[in-house]
Structure 1
Amino acid sequence: MPEQNSLSLDAGLAVLRAVAEETRLRLVSLLAESELTVKDATAILGQSQPRISRHLKLLAEAHLIRRYPEGSWVYYRLGDGAEGAFARDLVARLQASDPVLVADRERFEALRRAKAEEAARYFASKARTWDEERSLHAADSEVERAILAALGPQSFRSFLDLGTGTGRLLELLSDRYDTALGIDASHDMLAVARANLARADLGAAQVRHGDIYALNVPPRSFDVVAVHQVLHFLEDPARALAEAARALRPGGRLLIVDFAPHGLEFLREEHAHRRLGFSHDQMKSWLQGLDLDLEQVTDLAPRAEETQKLTVTLWVARDPRIITDLPVADPNREVA
């Protein structure tokens, strides 16, 4: 076993003690499928909140799981280190047909369906507004093809999607990355994204509530960072780009997708746009100020007769620092 996935004797004993109880083993089995809140776990296991919270605390103290606060809620997920690897291996060895685990999975799937229906209702309530805005520029399919072309066919280890929204980029690039994190300021949109990721069975991706101006991720921890149709909503786009650049590993790439300059003032009043697009020169200046090399610019312009449509621009910049053999930060580790 590789050293980084090995446990010391004390850590091994702590892990074994933590899982040597039925409720905690059931929790680990569920968390191998998806992240959960205390409320989720109480509904599935039919136990009190204090009891579930205590079991989760013991699992967290043994580093088998990790906790991610999101407003008044806390999401739990299996750890990413040696303890997490042990937990996943243990779950893989459990008998899938065990009646207790089968019942847990059935209740879990029912809970997922209920959440997906709730997310769908929220999405439907916003659909008219989004459809109106999407009609003003190139089709989503065209933009997505351009994103795939801009990033190229090569795979990468870690992906950070800022302003993840429905989690669409996490789905689109799922065959390119090993792990991915989507961050959004809207709890409602995160519910939609979680439902979409669950439906697509994307266990390598997770989403978290966060502030694009103050990312709670370690520096130099992502190979690709995307800021897709987000900057025009922000009062200070340059500050958000600085945070995105901070998260890039040496040699990592920053993908920005947004509108070229335009004069559709109604987007300020009806769609909360703060900026009416960004010029090539403006973006180049911001990226140079962050010591990033602008490698590619792609404009998806409307046809000449479509005078009320917007141009979508894709910028790809790279961190020119040389990749070294220094240890790389865990992209899923929270920082203070």
Structure 2
Amino acid sequence: MNGVLEALRAAADPTRLRILGLLESGELTVSELVSILGQSQPRVSRHLKILVDAGLLERFREGSWVFHRLSLGAGGARARALVHLIPDDDPLRAQDSQRLKEIEAQRAQMAEDYFRKYAPEWDRLRQLDVDEEAVATVVRDMLPLTRSQKLLDLGTGTGRMLQVLGPDVGEALGLDNSHEMLAVARSNLTRWGLDNCQLRQADILALPVVYGTFDAVVVHQVLHFLDRPWTAIGEAVRALAPGGRLLIVDLAPHDVEELREKHAHRRLGFADEEVQDWLQAQGLTLETIKHLPGKLGVTIWLARRIGVANMRTETQSMNQGASL
């Protein structure tokens, strides 16, 4: 009862209730909330502190950016219950939703402009500080496939993961929202002779596929571009057949702000605990984590839709260009 009463006291302000409504759909920075609410930064920060202290919100810092999102567990559930009491036709709620859509559209346009500009040299940029072939070797070792299986590559980009895993499967589908990336990928697939691989333009947050039909789903260096990476994980899980495996490759936590400022990165990498929470929330069993250290380290997470396995964490030290 005390938790409920504290939540009610914290949300008993129009601005704070608006903040909960905005964060119901994802995480936002303080500056984004200031822009949407049309209030000063100190005032918005004070409201956020009250909501965090009440356990309704979580606050976390990435480099120079500070994000807020609904808390996991009971606090987040209470926040959602309060938001659902707001009438759908409330004018302030509608106004906030429209401003949020405008901010999301601006982010999407920035990312699209970036992908268009860098599509021809995308593989080189993605290599970052860990050798590309070293990552490919670990991916093959962690996700052995057979010709009877189907593979889905979300955010395929130039088709790199199709090149790595496509020869081992019967069918593979790569999805990406960028025309420019897909043009490069189509050229690459022809050059690699991968006629069992197909490409399609699609939003990976709303998959145009039959759910439960893929034996493996790969999300390679995609999540750090997304506002709601957990949504992409949820879509990936729904695409998996029973017993299917999800492989995520992304950056470990880092503080290279340039990637956010110049290369459209939304997140500066991911901690194991954060990804593990998302996977468990989707009912997956996390089987293996492998760390490939570097100035910009890479982490690879492997999870299965059903079954129980002992999760093991391995750290592999290597220099750029080393083989595993």
Give the TM-score taking structure 1 as reference length: 0.54
2:221 counterpart of 1:235: no
1:180 is the counterpart of 2:172: yes
Deviation of residue 169 (structure 1)? 1.2
Q: Does 1:281 align with 2:267?
A: no
Partner of residue 217 from structure 2, selected from 208, 212, 225:
225
RMSD: 2.4
- What are the superposed Cα offsets for residues 112-143 of structure 1, whole Å, 9 maximum, x if unpaired? xxxxxxxxxxx996379747744642110111
Equivalent residue for 1:81?
none
Do the aligned residues in 2 keep the contact of 1:158 with 1:180 (CA within 8 Å)?
A: yes
CA distance 1:131–1:174, shift in 2 (3 Å):
closer
Relative distance call for 1:178 and 1:268 in structure 2 (3 A) is same
Alpha-carbon distance, 1:180 to partner: 0.5
Tell me how far 1:157 sits from its aligned partner: 1.1
- 1:191 is matched with which residue: 183, 193, 216? 183
Offset at residue 265 of structure 1 (A) = 1.1
Indicate conservation of the 8 Å contact 1:156/1:223, yes or no. no
SS at match of 2:207: coil
Q: In the TM superposition, what whole-angstrom CA distance separates every residue of 1:199-254 from its partner, at most 9, and x where no partner exists?
A: 22211110000001100001101000000000000000001100000000000000
238-247 vs 198-207, which moves further: 198-207
Match of 2:260 among 268, 277, 290: 268
CA deviations on 1:253-306 (whole Å, 9 max, x unpaired) are: 00000011111111111000000111010011000000000000000002xxxx
Residues 205, 134 of structure 1: CA spacing in aligned structure 2 closer, same or farther, 3 A cutoff?
Answer: closer
Q: Is the 8 A contact 2:252 2:270 kept in 1?
A: yes
How many residue pairs get aligned? The number is 195
Return the letter of the residue paired with 1:255.
L
CA distance in 1, matches of 2:124, 2:191: 26
Structure 2 unaligned segments of length 5 or more: list them.
1-114, 309-324
Structure 1 unmatched runs, 5+: 1-122, 303-308, 323-336
Code of the aligned partner of 1:184: D
**What amino acid maps onto 1:310 in structure 2?**
L
Structure 2 contact 171–196 (Cα < 8 Å) conserved: yes
Q: CA deviation at 1:189?
A: 0.7
1:137 equivalenced with 2:129 (yes/no): yes
CA shift digits 1:91-126 (9 cap, x unpaired): xxxxxxxxxxxxxxxxxxxxxxxxxxxxxxxx9963
Q: Which among 289, 297, 302 is matched to residue 316 of structure 1?
A: 302
Cα distance change on mapping 1:271 and 1:156 into 2, 3 Å? farther
Question: Over alpha carbons, which structure has the higher Rg?
Answer: 1
Over 3 Å counting, the alpha-carbon distance change for 1:135 and 1:202 in structure 2 is closer
Preserved contact between residue 156 and residue 176 of structure 1 (Cα < 8 Å): no
Question: What is the alpha-carbon distance in structure 1 between the residues aligned to residue 196 and residue 120 of structure 2?
Answer: 31
Displacement of 1:156 in angstroms is 4.8
Give the direction of change, closer, same or farther, for the CA distance of 1:135–1:250 in structure 2 (3 Å limit). closer
- What does residue range 113-262 of structure 1 map to in structure 2 within 5 Å? 126=118, 130=122, 133-134=125-126, 136-152=128-144, 154-262=146-254
Distance in structure 1 (CA, Å) of the matches to 2:161 and 2:232: 18
Runs of 4 or more off by more than 6 Å in structure 1?
none
Which residue is 1:297 aligned to? Answer: 289
Distance across 1 between alignment mates of 2:271 and 2:116: 33
Q: Deviations over 1:166-193 (max 9, x none)?
A: 1111121122110000000000111111
- Secondary structure of 2:166 counterpart: coil
Identity %: 51
Aligned pairs for 1:51-62 (under 5 A) are none
* Cα distance in 2, alignment partners of residues 128 and 171 from structure 1: 16
Change (3 A) 1:156 1:232: farther
Asked whether the equivalents of residues 250 and 321 of structure 1 are also in contact (C-alpha less than 8 Å), the reply is no
Tell me: CA distance 1:187–1:180, structure 2 relative to 1, closer, same or farther (3 Å). Answer: same
CA contact (8 A) 1:170 1:205 kept: yes
